[in-house]
């Protein structure tokens, strides 16, 4: 370990020790309150261009394995923790988290007051920051920061999306064919659809409407992903053409893109929702679901058109957590019902998607 520094764009500075690789990295600094799931967080494409702070004090307790990944690489730009666990204890563990970061050339910082950093972000909002282990000149670091783009207006779906379509069916021949639009899809979403007998094919975010028609899907899944949803104009235009022709299910960024395609608006949250313990109320049955969330933007509830209903509300701040347009066979949620480390309260939504496709086939 060597000296490391984290500088925020507003001038707040934290000094600590290096964690993972040495070097320098810039990104939007945010925080995640989950006590588990750090490997899923690291490999979640939704964290593209972000420096993630973990609020749990010890990270790496149960090590790293080759199964608990949500994509084929680490997507976070940088990682901030209080302290690395150097002796992981779990029968599935294959390596330490520090080794994992070094192998993937991910720069991080540890031995800082993550509680202070989290409170600063909560009070002042998520903001750009820089981690460096080789440049400690504040003026130099600030100049680099000022050149880094803000998350607002950034289309990052095109950065993380697949370049060409591929099938993810685990050699099953499903009853339903689903076209997944890859804005940054997580693997556990695909696994759960497979488990329900769905033959899943993943398409790039910029797929055309004609290509969708040629595939002849039974349903369309709009995946999670990073960045500003309003910047994904090609995705919004595609969904507008799809609506009413195929059943549609969206998650996270897919939820926001569906809302925009229906005529609603989105806005940037002050510091976002990131964790695995966010309470959401299902307005249809008044049940409370504990959910996994990771997003920095939200749908403006006041902008929803008359034919769209709110189905779920985030109980922490009363923001949109789900919507539905029955006449167009489309629904979406802002959170992650597939949550690999848990909780699993909301996995019924995948069965709802199956039912929607089954009814569409009958009709």
Which tokens is 135 given?
């440049």
Q: In b/e form, how buried is each residue of 104-117, taking b as 16+ CB within 10 angstroms? A: eebbbbbbbebeeb
Q: Which residue has the tokens 């996270």?
A: 252
Phi (first) and psi of residue 222, to 5 degrees: -105, 115
DSSP helix/strand/coil, 45: helix
Segments in the chain forming alpha helices (H): 38-42, 97-103, 114-124, 138-146, 157-160, 187-195, 209-215, 233-242, 253-262, 348-362
11 closest CA partner among 108, 102, 151, 130: 130
Q: Catalytic residue at 75? A: no
Taking phi over 0 as left and psi of -120 to 50 as alpha, with beta for the rest, 52 belongs to beta
Name the pairing type of β-strands 219-222 and 58-59.
unpaired
User: If phi over 0 gives left and psi between -120 and 50 gives alpha, with beta otherwise, what is residue 167?
Assistant: beta
- Cβ atoms of residues 241 and 263 within 8 Å: no
| Separation of alpha carbons 107 and 155, rounded Å | 23
Q: Which two tokens stand for residue 235?
A: 């995705």
**Coil/strand/helix, residue 284:** coil
Q: Are 81 and 34 in contact (CB under 8 A)?
A: no
CB 278 within 8 A of CB 314: yes
28, 48, 70, 252: the catalytic one is 252
Catalytic (active site) residue 295: no
Active site residue 338: yes
| CA dist., res. 53 & res. 115, Å (int) | 10
Catalytic center residues: 252, 336, 338
């Amino acid at each position: 370990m060597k000296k490391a520094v984290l500088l925020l764009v507003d001038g707040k500075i934290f000094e600590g020790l290096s964690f993972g690789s040495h070097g320098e990295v810039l990104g939007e600094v945010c925080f995640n309150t989950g006590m588990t799931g750090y490997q899923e967080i690291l490999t979640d494409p939704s964290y593209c261009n972000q420096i993630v702070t973990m609020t749990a004090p010890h990270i790496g307790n149960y090590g790293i394995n080759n199964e608990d990944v949500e994509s084929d690489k680490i997507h976070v730009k940088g990682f901030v923790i209080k302290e690395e666990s150097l002796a992981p204890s779990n029968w599935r563990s294959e390596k330490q988290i520090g080794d994992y970061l070094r192998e993937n050339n991910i720069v991080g910082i540890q031995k800082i007051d993550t509680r202070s950093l989290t409170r600063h972000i909560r009070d002042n909002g998520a903001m750009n920051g820089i981690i460096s282990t080789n440049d400690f000149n504040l003026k130099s670091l600030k100049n680099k920061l000022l050149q880094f783009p803000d998350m607002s207006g950034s289309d990052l779906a095109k950065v993380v999306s697949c370049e060409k379509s591929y099938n993810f069916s685990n050699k099953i021949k499903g009853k339903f064919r689903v076209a997944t639009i890859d804005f940054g899809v997580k693997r556990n979403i695909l696994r759960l659809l497979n488990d329900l007998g769905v033959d899943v094919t993943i398409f790039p975010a910029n797929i055309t409407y004609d290509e969708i028609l040629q595939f002849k899907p039974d349903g369309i899944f709009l995946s999670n992903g990073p960045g500003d949803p309003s910047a994904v104009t090609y995705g919004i235009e595609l969904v507008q053409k799809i609506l009413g022709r195929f059943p549609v299910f969206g998650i996270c960024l897919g939820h926001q893109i569906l809302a925009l395609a229906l005529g609603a608006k989105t806005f940037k949250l002050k510091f976002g929702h990131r964790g695995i313990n966010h309470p959401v109320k299902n307005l249809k049955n008044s049940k409370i679901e504990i959910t996994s969330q990771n997003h920095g933007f939200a749908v403006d509830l006041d902008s929803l058109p008359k034919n769209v209903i709110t189905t779920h509300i985030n109980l922490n701040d009363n923001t949109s957590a789900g919507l539905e347009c029955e006449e167009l066979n489309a629904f979406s949620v802002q959170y992650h019902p597939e949550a690999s480390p848990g909780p699993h309260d909301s996995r019924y939504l995948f069965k709802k998607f199956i039912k929607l496709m089954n009814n569409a086939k009958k009709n």
